[in-house]
Amino acid sequence: MFFNRPKPVSNTMNYLADGTEVRGSIKSEGSLRVDGKVYGNVDVKGDLEIATTGAIEGAEVCANNIVSQGTIKAQIQATGKVTLTSTAKVEGDVVASAIDIAAGAGFVGHLVTKDNKLLPAKSVQPQLPGNIHPKQPPETTTRNLRNWEDKKNYLALRL
């Protein structure tokens, strides 16, 4: 009879050509390459590629893997990897399993990698060269001194 099987992700590649402008959301079961401009949300089950002439401006961009050579002004969520090439410009937070940012890419936002646990912080002791040791706090403090003259002399010696 009828089974409740999940639909396989379509391997269809959709293409938004240079010079094309879309105002509104795009949703696709396949992959998408953007050479034009999108003003709205993009939700792609496959991979998303933004060419150098491509731009997306909206609230959210979701895809499996995202490779950007162009401009994105949106929150980015990827189940896989986000790659920003040297020509990419991104304004928005990025949440992905892996993130690769090339030298020269512009990025303003926060990066969050999923499925990666933070390592506990270690207590770090400063390492000084040779026999130099960190300065130990003095046993005498100004509170231990009885009069103003002793305090003034003590402070003069400390400086």
| Alpha carbon distance 143, 141 (integer Å) | 5
Note the pTM of the prediction, 2 decimals: 0.67
Token pair of 5, please? 């099987």
What average pLDDT values come out for the chain (159 residues) when binned by 10 residues?
55 90 94 96 96 96 97 95 96 93 94 67 53 54 57 60
- Beta-strand relationship, 37-39 and 21-23: parallel
- What's the pLDDT score for residue 36? 96
**pLDDT given for residue 26 in this prediction:** 95
Q: What pLDDT score does 152 carry?
A: 63
